Amino acid sequence: MKQPKDLFSDQAADYRRFRPSYPARLLQDIAALAPGRGRALDCATGNGQVARALATYFESVDAVDISEEQLKRAPASPGVTYSRQRAEATGFPDDSFDLIAVAQGIHWFDIPQFHLEARRLLRPGGILAVWGYGLLRVEPRTDAWLDRFYREVTGPYWEPERTYVEAGYANLPFPWEELTLPATYTIRRELGLEDIAGYLYSWSATQHLLRTEDDPVPEWIGRLKTIWGGNLTREGRHDIFLRIGRAAQ
pLDDT tens-digit series, residues 205-220: 999 999 999 999 999 9
Q: Note whether residue 5 is domain-resident.
A: no
pTM score of the predicted model: 0.89
* pLDDT (mean) for 74-93: 96
Q: Note whether residue 116 is domain-resident.
A: yes
Residues in the chain: 249
* pLDDT (mean) for 66-86: 93
Calpha distance 166→177 (Å, rounded): 23
pLDDT tens digits along 178-200:
999 999 999 999 999 999 999 99
Residue 15, SS3 per DSSP: helix
Q: Note whether residue 4 is domain-resident.
A: no
Contacts with 229 (C-beta within 8 Å, 6 or more apart), sequence order: none
> Does residue 22 have a pLDDT over 50?
yes
> Does residue 15 have a pLDDT over 50?
no
Calpha distance 45→40 (Å, rounded): 12
CB 113 within 8 A of CB 88: yes
- Provide the number of structural domains found in the chain: 1
Q: Note whether residue 3 is domain-resident.
A: no
> Does residue 140 have a pLDDT over 50?
yes
Q: Note whether residue 1 is domain-resident.
A: no
What domain range includes position 49? 12-246
Indicate which CATH number applies to the domain containing 54. 3.40.50.150
